[in-house]
Every structure is written in C-alpha cells, then in structure tokens.
With several copies, the nearest count.
Chain A
Amino acid sequence: MTKRIKAWLVEKYPAWIFLAVLLLGWEYVVAQEWVASYLLPSPTQIFQTTVELWPEIYAATLSTANSIAWGLGWSAVSGVTLALLFFAIPIVRRAVLPFCIFFQTVPIISIAPLLVIWFGFGQPTVRASAFIVSIFPILANTLTGLQETDPHLKELFRLYRPSPWQLIFKLQIPSAIPYILTGIKISAGLAVIGAIVGEFIAGGGLGSLIDAARTQQRVDLVFSGVVMSSVLALLLVFIIEVVSRVLLRGRPYLRKL
C-alpha cells in the first residue's frame, strides 16, 4: 500500500510542482502588493488563519462534507435512476426532461424560502441544495451514455428478448460507465457549491463561515473556507476515481477513463 501511495505521489508530481509554483507566485503577487491583501490574502496568511481557527474550521468542514456526501450520493443514485427511467420510457423523457433543464437554472437563493420551509432550517436544506445543484450533469451524461450504446451490441442482446432490466444492467449501464463517471465528477464540484450556497441560506458549515467572514471583510477566513471546500471537492474526485478503479478492476475493457 505504501508503495502504491508513493507511486501515486510520483505520478502526481506535476500537480505538486504546479501547486508550488502557484503558491509561490501568489505569495509574491501579494507581497509585491500587486493585488491588495484585503482582496486576496497571501497563502501564508490563509494558512495561519486556518491553523489559528482550526477547531472551528475543522468542524465546519466536517459538517459541509457530510452534506456534500449526502447530496452527491443521492444525486448520483437518482440521476442515474432518472436517466434510466427517461431512457426506458421516452414519452416521460420528452415530457419531463425540459423541466429538468428548467429547474436546473433556478438559482437556489431565489427559492430559498421554499427550500427552508419544505426541508427545514439547517442541514436538510443544505443537503437538498447540494442535491438539486448536482443532479443534472449526472442525469444528462447518463442519458447520453445510455443512448450511445453500440447499436450492434444492442441488436445482439435483442436476439434473446431480454427484459428491460437485463438490457440496462448487462449492456447499457456498462457501456455508459465513462459517461456516468464523468457526470459524477462534474457533479462533485457542483455539489460542493450547492452545499456552500445552501449554508449561506440555512446556516452551518463552511458556507456560514465564509458568509460571516465575507461581511466582516475577513478575506483570509473567506479564503480559508474556500480552500477547505475546494479540498473537499478534490478529495471527492479522488475518492470517486479510486472507487471506480476498484469497482472496474479486472474489467479493463469497460472503456477506461
């Protein structure tokens, strides 16, 4: 395992180098006052703040992570399910899909009262927000993936008069996998934003922290929160990648990502 981790670190070295360059550049830009530090704090400043307020930031991060996991988990499950439903019953797709596009564009903040009243104040609303924001990419990508199944293979399956379930589980889902995984990765980022915005409205977690810091002009704290949320997103993408690799292990021909 340690060997693997080592290999992974080595494989990712361009990212580490780039990160280092980025941080140094950033530090320099702020040190030279090319950008005022009340707009963009330096990395060291952000780091100091993070260390200083670690207990609060840690707790907030955990709470946000929880909401994100919940929201993304459900949007993965229901996005894929919905896509299957739309795919299986075209009339439903033609009827409902436009409204999915419709709802996708509703800014969370403008339906905040509805959300809070339906889901309750606090975490439920945050979760709902993460969910709402992140379902569409999974839905759209899965749907495309299902539609792009190789027609030759579809024909082969049809010879045996498969049930819709068989067709879906043995053919269509496997061939949609690269689409689904990409959809989930796109959604991971959105779920993070959804959770943060949800917390602006319903309180708790990093969103609340960022919100408070923002009005108090604590840019260092704002960025500390932003960095933590981005770290969550990265972690999430990393987990998705690892899980999908483990799940697809021994199936190299389930086209790779």
Chain B
Amino acid sequence: MESSGQTNTQSAPARVIEVQHLVKRFAGAEHAIIDDLSFAVPADSCLSLLGPSGCGKTTLLRLLMGLEEPSSGVIHVAPAQAKHMSYVFQEPRLVPWRTCLENVLLPLELIHQNNQASQAYALDLLQQLGLDERLQHFPGELSGGMQMRVALARALVTEPKIVLLDEPFAALDERTRFRMQDLLLELKSRLQLQYVFVTHSIAEAVYLGDQILLMDSTGRARDWRGVDFSERNQALKLAPAFNSIVQTYSQLFSEMERNSTASGSGESRP
C-alpha cells in the first residue's frame, strides 16, 4: 500500500519535509509507537494525517516539530521552512494569565515582531476566527471551542511557512469548522502556507490534504497517497469523487479494525 502512495509524489518538487525509517519508542515501553515510518511532503503540498486514537499522530507531529527526539530514523525539514514552523497543540495550551489578545501576541513578542502591522494582523485573524468580542477575556472565561481558536490564531499570527495542526477543529461546530477549513485553504494559497493536519474526520482530511497519510495502531503507515482536486470549496464535499475517496478511507479504517481485532495486537477490542 505504501508504495502506491509514494509513486504519486515521487516526481514532485523539492521536498520540504522528509521522514525516513522513523522509529519512536518511549522509555520503558514495550512496543515502538512509530515503527519504520517513511514519507515526504513536497513544496506547496499539505498533508492530512489520519489514524485511530492513540496510534501516534500527536507523537509524529511532535517529532516533526522537534519536541521529541526520534529513537532512530531521519527527519529532515528544509531549513528555509524549518525556521518558520508553528504548532497547534491538541489542547489549547493558552497562558492562563494572558488575555485572549495577549495570548495571540505572545509569539510576536517572543520573536520581537510585536509591531503595529503584526498587531493589526492579529486582530484581523481574531476577527476571522469570530473572537473579536472576546479580546480582553482570559482563557478561563472562554468556551472550549474559543480557546482552540485562540490557539489557532496564535499559531498563524507569525505567518509561518509550515503549521502543524493537531485536531484544531475537533471542538468546533460544523459551521465554524467549515469556515476555519476555508480560512486554512485561503492562507495556503495566499501565503504559500503548508500544513500537516491531524484530524479524526475523514472528510476533513480529504478536503484539506493534498496527501493523506493513514497510520495504523502499530505505528506504521497503512496508506499514503495524494488527492488532487482542482478547486476546493465546501461544495466539493457533495461531489461523488470526493465522497468515493472518503468511502475508501472509511473502508480502510474498518479493515484495520478487523485486522487488529483478529490479530489481538490492536489497542482495542470492542
């Protein structure tokens, strides 16, 4: 299966992210969480990451970001991009004593870019994320979905070249989620933003990813392939082509589950 995906992207332009034979094993753990994973993300391409709960998606993002050290294998991120990476954690992780706005301005302060233009951009982002009435609220006074949106704004405010997003929209209602998806696509085309997007929604993965990497619970790539749509907008989700890809993945998931239940090596037995 892996090879089928690879052919799709083999001839693509310079690779921005390249992962080879990546293995991650936590100290004291029996099994490796990520086991011999290889893939690459070319320039201008965005990756969606799918996989069952606990399969190692977050761990992979953390490895890409450099928050964890690989046990073996190679992770290579093009230097030009590596300097401008940002990360949306799975939980909002806001600084509790900073207001919504101050949380978004934090990265700008840290990279010494807290100037007027950036601040205007921050306000603009917050408005697009529907938070313009909450600027002076502390995280403890925001709803779960709002907190996640603040975290998203914080990751985008520095105009990064690569964003790693760990289920950023899981706490949002469908409508808001759709708006956010389109915001991301817009940034992608306008600012040449690339992202690696972890989600549990197959439709979302297909909608947002130029490539989709499906991990299984043994930490291997179960499937890696490119998807190509000329234009992406919410109407696409009703297109048969779109839905057939979604269906494929849905089936892959069921298959994986059946396998893991059969072999007993899976992490869950319903």
Q: B-contacting residues of A (Cβ < 8 Å)?
A: 152-153, 155-162, 166, 170-171, 174, 251-254
Find out whether the CB atom of B93 lies under 8 angstroms from the CB atom of A160.
Answer: no
The answer to whether A162 and B97 touch across the interface, beta carbons within 8 angstroms, is no
Provide the bound-state CA to CA distance between A257 and B107, in Å: 28
Query: Given A155-B67, A159-B65: A170 and B93 within 8 A (CB)?
Result: no
Q: Are B110 and A157 in contact (CB under 8 A)?
A: yes
Minimal beta-carbon separation of B120 from chain A (angstroms): 20
| B93 / chain A contacts, CB cutoff of 8 Å | 152-153, 156
Given contacts A153-B93, A159-B86, A160-B111, contact A253 B65 (CB under 8 A): no
Chain B residues, Cβ within 8 Å of A160: 106-107, 110-111, 158
Q: Mark B77-99, 1 if CB is under 8 A from A, else 0.
A: 00000000111010101011100
| Distance of A166 from chain B, by nearest CB (Å) | 6
- Alpha-carbon distance A155/B139, docked complex (angstroms): 17
Assess whether A253 is in contact with B140, with CB atoms less than 8 Å apart.
Answer: yes
Query: B110 to A253, Cβ gap below 8 A?
Result: no
Q: How far is the CA of A174 from the CA of B97 in the complex (A)?
A: 8
Can you identify 15 A-B contacts, CB atoms within 8 angstroms?
Answer: A152-B91, A155-B67, A156-B93, A159-B87, A160-B110, A161-B111, A162-B110, A166-B110, A170-B106, A174-B97, A252-B138, A253-B138, A253-B139, A253-B140, A254-B97
Most buried by B among A157, A159, A160: A159
| Complex-state Cα separation, A170 to B95, whole angstroms | 10
B95 contact set on A, CB distance < 8 A: 153, 156, 171
Look across to chain B and name the residue whose beta carbon is closest to the beta carbon of A171.
B95
- Is B186 interfacial (CB-CB < 8 Å)? no
**Cβ of B114 to closest chain A Cβ, rounded Å:** 12
Chain B residue nearest in CB terms to A167: B110
A166 partner, pick from B67, B89, B109, B140, beta carbons under 8 A: B109
Chain A residues with Cβ below 8 Å from B65 are: 159
Known: A159-B65, A159-B86. A251 touches B110 (CB 8 A): no
Shortest CB distance B158–A (Å): 8
Interface centre among B110, B111, B158 (most CB of A within 10 A): B110
B58 to chain A, nearest CB (A): 12
**Which residue on chain B has the smallest CB distance to residue A153?**
B95
**Known interface pairs A156-B95, A170-B106; 4 further A-B residue pairs with C-beta atoms within 8 A, sorted by A's residue number:** A152-B91, A153-B95, A159-B85, A159-B87
Report A180 CB to chain B, min CB distance, Å. 14
Report the bound CA distance from A251 to B139 in whole Å. 12
**Closest B residue by C-beta to A254:** B97
Interface membership of chain B positions 90-125, coded 1 if the CB is closer than 8 angstroms to chain A and 0 otherwise: 010101110000000011011100000000000000
Nearest 5 interchain pairs by C-beta: A160-B110, A253-B96, A254-B97, A253-B97, A162-B110
Q: How far is the CA of A170 from the CA of B110 in the complex (A)?
A: 9
- With both beta carbons as reference points, the residue of chain B lying nearest to A151 in the complex is identified as B140
